[in-house]
Structure 1
Amino acid sequence: MKKLLMLVMALAVLVAACGNNNGDKSKSNNETVNYKLDDGKKIDIPKKPKRIVVLAPSYVGGLLHLGVKPVGVPATTDQTPILKDKIKGIKKVSEDNVEQVAALKPDLIITYNTDKNVKKYQKIAPTIPYNYAKHNYLDMQVELGKLVGKEDKAKKWVAKWKKETEKDGKEIKDKIGKDTNVSVIEAFQKDIYTYGENWGRGTEVLYQAFGLKMPTSVEKDVKKDGWKKISQEEIEKYSGDYLFLPVTKGQAKPEFTKTEAWKAIPAVKNDHVIEIDAQTFWYNDPYSLEVQRKYLKEHILDKANK
């Protein structure tokens, strides 16, 4: 009888211990940390978020590169061939559909500060509304690393990227000349734009990573917004010695490329126009950047060698 009583007491202690461990585990899963937003405010977010919904397509590839798989991403992310296979199995949501986001039961939401639904998302889960213009592309990757507890991994990639692209930039400038300038001009819908150093379309690679120069006109006029809408008549003014032209597969080239004024631009006459696939060059996440880097270096050197 005494032995039976001791056995019962031992089992009771074991059950109680298991119960306490489960409680600690649950508490650990709900652990939060303080995170500073771009506007200076601080919020509590999960220390290890498990169900992230990303509504800002610019940040999808960065999270995936850190080994973090969101439960929801914008449907538009499917349009870039670089990320299409990497987001298979992830729920695609409309960027303005609050109900779709709520149905995924996120514990963290990432969007732009320009998102009109930020306040609605804040009622669903802690929401990070990043100011795209505030962060350059490398700082943004480190910031994403901080957000998900993988800052060291992000910094390691940044160091590797800087080392490799510095070498690329030197090789390119040795070939084309250090004072040679480059520009990106894109026909988007019915308008024409030129871009600064942090607006996708390969600008991060050309200007920041390779260290190539902008034409003075571009440098001056994109300072305020990072981009500038221009007229067809101004294309020559904003064209560099090398001109990069985003085009979309399956669509006709911009109408301005059929004009006599276009044919008279020095970069066109010198066969220094390099077409880039618009959808491949939309974003500036690590996966997209690696593809862009190789393409741009190869095609610049190819043009220089002709």
Structure 2
Amino acid sequence: MKKIKKGKLAIIYAIISILLVLAGCGSNQDSSKENLDNKQKVTVQHELGKTSIPKNPKKIVVLELSFVDALQGLGMKPIGIADDNKTDMIEKLVGDKIDYTSVGTRQQPNLEVISSLQPDLIIADYQRHKEIYKDLEQIAPTIELKSRESTYEENVDSFKTIAKAVGKEKEANQRLDEHEKTIAELKNELKEEKDQTVLPAVVRDTSFQAHTSSSFDGEFLEKLGLKNAVQNKEAYAEMNLEQLSDINPDILILANNEGKLLTDEWKGNSLWKNLKAVKNDKVFVVDRDLWTRYRGVVSAEAIGKDTVKLLNEE
């Protein structure tokens, strides 16, 4: 074997040293890049686990109306909404026309359309969309929160989670402080005796669905100082006229569907006529979207104002 001259050996050592330095630099750069990536993401706990989200996401798709409400409360607008193909419903919710893409219905959102929007974040409803969570995750980071059949307090919790996800926690705290002040003012304005019972309900052509103390609007009315006539852990309770007569609430707040209504059939029945709410002219018809579909901090304040206006009328 030939001996390597000292000069050549020195050159080889120098080259090896340079390569080692470069390798170290590359490793440090990779480590720095990884740390930078981690700093540019936020981890959010939601109903189906934890999700890492790009910091301050701008392109957000929402699959429930309450999430539109939440972003509105934070001064943001989604780029895609599961709006049930009803743009007028969204316009009424936000109080103005906004530029967004419909991604289909809340019950069955269009995954292809969502994907085409290349969102930074998808906000989905735990009850409606848990079965398609993995599909949504393949499109973009997704958080699943309580909305449908959520209580008022659960809805507020979802609002806080969304605020963390979009980097608006400070704004959310300020908004919730304003919210509490607004509710306190509305509660003081309410002239109705606080021991009277109230029953909000959705009326369809073949059903009367009472909203209990565990529903969004039911729990919120109790926050205003009223007592829900149906105390139940389940959000909704289907009932017939006989059951309604047994409960006999002081106040009825009805969010009616369009068209034929079951209560139209009941109006000729003595059980209906003898309800305290009917005899005392305290049956109120309210906007179905606002009272039962929107659900959120902004919408709750509108419901509160609506309640005060209706019940304070002489």
Query: What TM-score, normalized to structure 1?
Result: 0.78
The residue aligned with 2:264 is: 255
Structure 2 matches for 1:37-116, cutoff 5 A? Answer: 37-39=46-48, 41-76=49-84, 78=87, 79=89, 82-83=92-93, 85-86=95-96, 88-95=98-105, 96=108, 97-114=110-127, 115=129, 116=131
C-alpha change, 1:70 and 1:30, in structure 2 (3 Å) is farther
- 1:292 is aligned to 303
Give distance in 2, aligned partners of 1:143 and 1:87: 26
CA displacement, residues 264-290 of structure 1 (integer Å, 9 cap, x when unaligned): 211101101111011232222233223
Structure having the higher Rg:
2
Root-mean-square deviation over aligned CA pairs? 2.7
Q: Which residue of 1 aligns with 2:242?
A: 233
The change in CA–CA distance for 1:238 and 1:111 in structure 2 (over 3 A counts) is farther
Provide the residue aligned with 2:192 in structure 1. 176
Contact 2:53–2:141, Cα closer than 8 Å, also in 1: yes
- Cα pair 1:63 1:69 within 8 Å, conserved: yes
Task: Deviation per CA, 1:54-105: give whole Å up to 9, x if none.
Answer: 0122211111221222110012363355326545211011142111111111
CA distance in 2 between partners of 1:152 and 1:292 (Å)? 25
Question: Is 2:140 the partner of 1:121?
Answer: no
CA distance in 1, matches of 2:38, 2:80: 20
Task: State the secondary structure of the residue aligned to 1:240.
Answer: coil
Q: Give the superposition deviation at 1:296.
A: 1.0
Does the alignment pair 1:191 with 2:203? Answer: no
Q: What is the deviation of 1:189?
A: 5.4
**2:308 counterpart letter in structure 1:** K
Contact 1:191 1:229 in 2 (8 A): yes
Contact preservation (8 Å) 2:146, 2:154: no
Taking the aligned partners of 1:29 and 1:72, their CA distance within structure 2 comes to 27
Is the Cα contact below 8 Å between 2:199 and 2:253 reproduced in 1? yes
Q: Matches of 1:35 and 1:203 in 2, distance apart?
A: 29
Distance in 1 (CA, whole Å) between partners of 2:247 and 2:121 is 41
- Alpha-carbon distance in 2 for matches of 1:43, 1:80: 28
Assess, with a 3 A threshold, how the Cα gap between structure 1 residues 283 and 204 changes in structure 2: closer, same or farther: farther
C-alpha displacement at 1:141, in angstroms?
2.1
Q: Superposed, which structure 2 residues align to 1:121-270 within 5 Å? A: 121-132=136-147, 133=150, 136-172=154-190, 175-188=191-204, 190-197=206-213, 199-200=215-216, 202-208=217-223, 210-215=224-229, 218-219=230-231, 222-223=232-233, 225-248=234-257, 251-253=259-261, 254-260=263-269, 261-270=271-280
- CA separation of 1:269 and 1:229: change in aligned 2, threshold 3 A: same
Match of 1:7 in 2: none
CA distance in 2 between partners of 1:143 and 1:296 (Å): 28
Deviation at 1:150, TM superposition (A): 0.9
Paired positions, count: 269
Percent identical among aligned pairs is: 28
Say if 1:199 and 1:168 are closer, same or farther in 2 by CA, change over 3 A: same
Indicate how the Cα distance of structure 1 residues 299 and 126 shifts in structure 2: closer, same or farther if over 3 A, else same: same
- Where do 5+ consecutive residues of structure 1 fail to align? 1-23
CA deviations over 1:5-47 (Å, ceiling 9, x no partner): xxxxxxxxxxxxxxxxxxx9xx7799211111224x2221111
Taking the TM superposition and a 5 Å limit, the aligned residue runs for 1:2-13 are none
Taking the aligned partners of 1:110 and 1:127, their CA distance within structure 2 comes to 6
The code of the aligned residue for 2:195 comes to D
8 Å contact from structure 1 (residues 32, 44) kept in 2: yes
Kept in 2: contact 1:204–1:284 (CA 8 A): no
Relative to the length of structure 2, the TM-score reads 0.76
Separation in structure 2 between the aligned mates of residue 80 and residue 239 of structure 1, nearest angstrom = 35
Q: What's the secondary structure of 1:233's corresponding residue?
A: helix
Query: Residue 143 of structure 1 aligns to which amino acid in structure 2?
Result: T
